[in-house]
């Protein structure tokens, strides 16, 4: 069942990607070249800014000064807060002219090892959430990593 759900999610994403490309201009002269770095959420640097020890500050910067993906599962009891958080993250990246890395992690029956089991209660809930995530990102630049720990 878990493998089937993972396969369904994969096929749905591939279909969505194909459909989203239908209205993409085919003329390479009108396409914008990729020239944005990855987004570093400003709050990641708070630990660096507040550290007094110079050696620790350097080590913290190596970790916190590296862009990374923000994970979203859309399962929170108050998922509108999760949606708002994702929207703020994507808009912050756009405003900074950087590319956000969004990690989607909410497939039903996720994590076959059961270390972080859960996920959406069913495929319909998951699909509705993926539709919301797609609408939030819209046509903005983003790297979306889908269910990296689901299988």
Q: Domain for residue 130, yes or no?
A: yes
Q: Domain for residue 23, yes or no?
A: no
Query: Domain range holding 79?
Result: 2-7+67-146
Q: Domain for residue 19, yes or no?
A: no
Provide the whole-model pTM.
Answer: 0.68
The closest of 3, 1, 11 to 127, measured between CA atoms, is: 11
- As given in the structure block, the two tokens for residue 57 are 């500050």
**Cβ count within 10 A of residue 14:** 10
Q: CB-based contacts of 141: which residues, under 8 Å, 6+ apart? A: 34, 36, 93, 94, 99, 100
Q: Domain for residue 41, yes or no?
A: no
pLDDT digits (tens, 9 = 90+) for 98-124: 999 999 988 887 766 666 667 888 899
Q: Domain for residue 113, yes or no?
A: yes
Q: For residues 137 and 92, is the Cβ–Cβ distance under 8 A?
A: no
Q: What's the total number of domains in the chain?
A: 1
**Pairwise CA distance, residues 33 & 22, whole Å:** 19
Q: Domain for residue 45, yes or no?
A: no
Q: Domain for residue 34, yes or no?
A: no
Q: For residues 88 and 29, is the Cβ–Cβ distance under 8 A?
A: no
Q: Is residue 27 predicted with pLDDT exceeding 90?
A: no
Q: Domain for residue 129, yes or no?
A: yes
**What confidence tier does 47 reach under pLDDT thresholds 50, 70, 90?**
confident
């Amino acid at each position: 069942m878990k493998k089937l759900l993972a396969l369904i999610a994969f096929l749905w994403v591939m279909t969505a990607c194909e459909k989203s490309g239908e209205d993409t201009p085919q003329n390479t002269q009108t396409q914008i070249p990729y020239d944005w770095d990855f987004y570093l959420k400003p709050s990641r640097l708070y630990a660096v800014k507040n550290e007094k020890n110079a050696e620790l500050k350097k080590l913290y910067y190596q970790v916190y000064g590296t862009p990374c993906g923000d994970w979203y599962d859309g399962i929170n009891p108050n998922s509108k807060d999760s949606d708002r958080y994702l929207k703020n993250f994507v808009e912050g990246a756009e405003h900074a002219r950087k590319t956000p890395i969004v990690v989607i992690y909410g497939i039903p029956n996720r994590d076959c090892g059961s270390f972080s089991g859960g996920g959406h209660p069913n495929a319909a809930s998951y699909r509705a959430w993926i539709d919301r995530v797609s609408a939030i990102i819209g046509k903005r630049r983003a790297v979306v990593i889908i269910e990296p720990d689901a299988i």
